[in-house]
Amino acid sequence: MENLENAILDVLNDPEKMNEIFSIAQSLGLSGDGGNISPPQEDLQMAGAVMGILQDLQKCDPKQENLLHALLPYLDDARQRKLKRAMQIGRLSRLAGTVLQRENDST
């Protein structure tokens, strides 16, 4: 997964590669623009930021997550739902923290 993200970031950060992709899309009739097409810089920055956030989101402790998943079969249905919900809330809070940190860093 990390290799795929790095490859996508490499393409997004290279204007020549992006122009090549847009040229291919234009030749396939996927673009209504007949002139020189290039992605707006804001789109490239946004895509890079999203990829960075996704990478940060995956940096959770795999030991903790594996432990919680291993406990699931030993819990009754109600507690399984609660544990799964708590894990989702944990992921969302990490995501929110990452977004807020990036926002503070950019200002």
The tokens of 55 are what?
A: 């990478």
DSSP 73: G
Q: What is the pLDDT of residues 70-100, one digit of tens each?
A: 999 999 999 999 999 988 888 788 777 777 7
| Sole residue written with tokens 């490239």 | 44
pTM score > 0.75 for this model?
no
Please say whether the beta carbons of 11 and 48 come within 8 A: no
Q: What is the pLDDT of residues 11-70, one digit of tens each?
A: 777 778 777 777 777 776 665 554 555 566 666 677 777 777 666 666 667 788 889 889
Neighbours of 53 (CB within 10 A): 16
Q: Domain residues of the chain, as ranges?
A: 60-107
Higher-confidence position of 107 and 16: 16
Residues 52, 57, 63, 68: what is their CA dihedral angle, to the nearest 10 degrees? -160
